[in-house]
Structure formats: structure tokens, C-alpha cells
Amino acid sequence: MTEDGSATLVDPEGRTCHSLAGAWSQARERYVAGVGLTDRGSGGVVRLLDVGTGFGLNVAAALEACDAARLTLEVVALEAARAPLEFAVRAPEPAAGEAHRAVAAALAEALALQEQGAPDAVVGLGERSSLRLLLGDARATLSALDPAWRCDAVFLDPFAPADDPVLWELAFLRLVAERMDPGARLATYCAAVAPRAALVAAGLQVGRLGRVGHKSEGTVAARGGADLEPLPPRLARRLERRAAALLASGEFGDSPGPRVAEQPDAPGSVGSPPAQGV
């Protein structure tokens, strides 16, 4: 438990999961609003890739929004560890109401099916939606999906880059970008330079998401043509240089050129300081 009495967990690698305090607001504001979730998809269906499902609050916020808009939500959830999922099943967050209780019920069913040898079964989520839980290394589980599967939104919420670096590197972020439909958007809490540069190198346009409560700004990314809040010019140029260096390494083959949403320099501007880390 944290000092304020809210829940926290330690995963099998010894990494601390975030507290529930403030997580529900971040799920709604950073992720659901950040990608404009109910404006995504087609035919009344929104397909969500949830990377780092954890307590399931981001999925609950997505379900709440889609239910209110009478949309069907189809979630593919990637999570390495069972512990946070099992905690969500035992103790749904009261502030998240019925949406998190529905997610808890879906996770309980999915975990039971995992134990019965059905590791990628699709389970019901609320009245009209569905969830597919894939446990294990996200690089492997994402690669194993049907090659034709695409999403309308991505919630990128793994541990911080210092704790889980492989899920912030170009190799994995290219896998994510390849799964995004042209109109899809990605949101993450992370505003560090290296992950943003990797998103650019993966062929995504990168912009900024505002602060949520006491949390620093986040990042939004899209495959192109999106009206994203631009980054300061100096930072945008820095990301382009970092992205170009990643691509010049030759380890990842051909890629769309780097694209960064950039705001014009103000008269006399000398740019902004580098982005802060997570």
C-alpha cells in the first residue's frame, strides 16, 4: 500500500505498478480523450490495442466512452504479468463504476480460459463489446496476431522506458505502427525524447498531449494527416535528427520518413528546452 492507502503492486521483475490514485482521471483524459476514441473506427466499431493493460482502468475508460456513444469496443489487451489483472478482478476501482466492474468480469473470464489452455480467446465485455487478452512478451504476442488485424487506437502504457526499455524502442514501436489504420491515433503518458524519436522513426507523426492533474505532458501519434497539437520547433527538429540516426543504423529496413507536428517559431524564439522524461 502507498502512504495514502491506495493500492500498488510489484510485478515478478520487481517493478512497481502505479497507484490507483489519479489513474482513473488519466485513463479518461490522457488516453480516451487523447486519441479522440469515439471519433475513431467505422461502422459503429472501435478497435483498441491496449499495451500494458495493468489494472484495466484504461480499458474501462474506453468502455465507458464507447457505451455512452453507443459504439462497440473491440479490445486486444497485451500484458506481461497476471498480478495487476488479478488485483483488478478482486478489487474493481469504485470511482470507475460499472465500466471497471465489467472489465474485471471480462479479465476474470479471460484468465480462467488462459488456465484452461485457451490463451487468446475473445470474451464479452459489457453488453456489446469484447476483449482478447494476450499474456506474455508483447513483442511476441503482437507479432503473432493475424497479419490483417488493424486498430483504430493505441493506448501505450507499459512501465517507464528505464524499467521496460524494449517496449519503447523502434523495433516494437514499428510493430505497433504497422497495426494502426490510417486514421488511428496512439496516446501515451511518456514525453521522453528517445521514445518520441522512435515513434517518428516508426513512420508516425508525433504531437503533444497536455498535462493531466499533476502529471506532466504526454504524447500523441498518428500515421499521418492528423491535426495534432504541435511540438516546439527546436524539439521537433531534435526528434527528426534522432529518428534519422535510428534509421541510418540500417537495422530496421525501409521506413516512411520522419514526421513531427511542429509549431512555428515565435519571433525571436530560441526554441524550447528538451522534453522532460516520464
How far is CA 123 from each of CA 45, 48, 118, 254, rounded to the nearest angstrom? 16, 15, 11, 37
In the numeric block, which cell numbers belong to residue 123?
470474451
In this structure, of 33-47, 217-231, 244-258, the range with the lowest mean pLDDT score is: 244-258
In the numeric block, which cell numbers belong to residue 273?
528546452
Instruction: Report the predicted TM-score, pTM, of the whole model to 2 decimal places.
Output: 0.85
d(CA 230, CA 228): 6
Banded pLDDT at 252 (limits 50, 70, 90): low
**pLDDT single digits (tens) 129-138:** 999 999 999 9
Rounded to 5 degrees, what are φ and ψ at 164?
A: -140, 60
**pLDDT single digits (tens) 2-43:** 333 344 444 445 444 444 547 899 999 999 999 999 999 999
Residue 166 confidence (pLDDT): 96
Dihedral of the alpha carbons of 130, 58, 275, 247, in degrees to the nearest 10? -20
The CATH class that applies to domain 23-252 reads: alpha beta
**pLDDT single digits (tens) 148-198:** 999 999 999 999 999 999 999 999 999 999 999 999 999 999 999 999 999
In the numeric block, which cell numbers belong to residue 227?
491535426
Cα atoms in the Cβ-side hemisphere of radius 13 Å centred on 192: 12
Return the closest-CA partner of residue 200 out of 143, 271, 255: 255
Helices vs strands, H then E, count in the chain: 9, 9
Domain parsing of the chain, residue ranges: 23-252
